[in-house]
Structures are given as structure tokens and as C-alpha cells.
Amino acid sequence: MEAWTATKQENGHWLFAWDADSGESFEIWWNGTLLNTVVGGEFDCELNGYAETPPPLEVVADESGVDAESELYPPFVILQWRGVSGATAYLVEQYVSGAWIARKTVMERERGYYTYQTAVLEDDTETTFRVSALDARGTAGTPVNFSFKVVRNPAPPDVSFSMESGASLVVEEA
């Protein structure tokens, strides 16, 4: 999603709007919590305490409806990790162009394990993420790194076939 607007409505809600293709769905996140999944380019936000400025929402394209090519080779990965005693949240970051970029803060919910689904990853490129446990003061613990290389369209194997008269099929690797 490139650009969005937030407009204060007469009922006190904030109306978020952005460009979207017909039928395209988006996840609406606030403070590490999934608020809703919407179809189209609008979300009516009813959060209290945001009279002067809009709430800091994150609008993310919902990648669960992947195309046919991606069904065989998903364009994303799912990070999984176990909860840490004393953690109040987990910071997920991605290494991009020589710097760590925060992607999401996952709140501690005493589930025992946590997941994060990445956005679509670039094909045939190694991508690195890290997850750090945060304490109540926001201090990060030692991160755990995850590295992936997703190849959705691998090159076909270099194999040739030939038939000899009166023989069975012979497969030769080139």
C-alpha cells in the first residue's frame, strides 16, 4: 500500500482510506494486535483516545489469497519462536540495504509460541530476519536470526533424452 489518508468523522471515528484493487483484502494492525481484515480500501477506526491525531495503524496487504503460481512455491515464510519468560513483546526486524528495519511488534499472550508471516519475499534472494524479546521497559534481549532464500521459479534441470534403436529410454544429464 503506497499512500493513505485518515479523516476525522462526525461520530469521532477515524476513516482510513487507500487505493485498492477490487476484492483486495488488507489486515489492520494496532500496537501489535490484529484489529480486523477488510476488503477494499477503507477502514472505520473506533479506537478511543485519538481526538487530535489518528491512531498509529498499520495497514498490510493480506497475502493469504496467493495466486496459482504461489500455491506451489509460497512467496512468503512464517517465522516461529517460543515465548521467553519475562518478555512483554517480541520485535520482528528485517535486514534491508545494510540496516535492520522493524516489521512488527508481537505482544506476549502467554501462548508458548509465536508466529510472524512475512510479506512477499523477493525471488531467488537471501532475506534475513531477527526476533528479539522485549521486557517491560522495551529493552531487547539477544536476537534470534532467521535467513531464507525463496525460489518460486527454479530453472529446469539440464537433462536431455535420447533413444537408441531396440533399447529402452536413456536419460543423460548434460
If you write DSSP's letter for every residue of 12-54 in order, what string do you get? S-EEEEE---TT-EEEEEETTEEEEEEESSEEEE--SS-SSS-
**Residue with more model confidence, 52 or 130:** 130
Model pLDDT, residue 66? 43
Per-residue pLDDT of 79-106, as tens digits, reads: 888 888 899 999 999 999 999 999 999 9
For CA atoms 34, 36, 39, 45, give the dihedral sign.
Answer: negative
Task: Tell me which residue has cell 496487504.
Answer: 61
The residue among 143, 14, 131, 153 whose CA lies nearest residue 70 is: 153
Task: Tell me which residue has cell 519475562.
Answer: 86
What would the mean pLDDT of 35-64 be, rounded to a whole number?
81
Model pLDDT, residue 161? 60
pTM of the model: 0.49
Q: What's the whole-number average pLDDT of the chain?
A: 79
What would the mean pLDDT of 63-69 be, rounded to a whole number?
47
What would the mean pLDDT of 56-61 be, rounded to a whole number?
78
Model pLDDT, residue 64? 54
Q: What is the dihedral of CA 103, 75, 95, 32, to 10 degrees?
A: 10
What pairs with residue 171 in β-bridges? 161
Separation CA 35–CA 57 (nearest Å): 9
Separation CA 117–CA 113 (nearest Å): 14
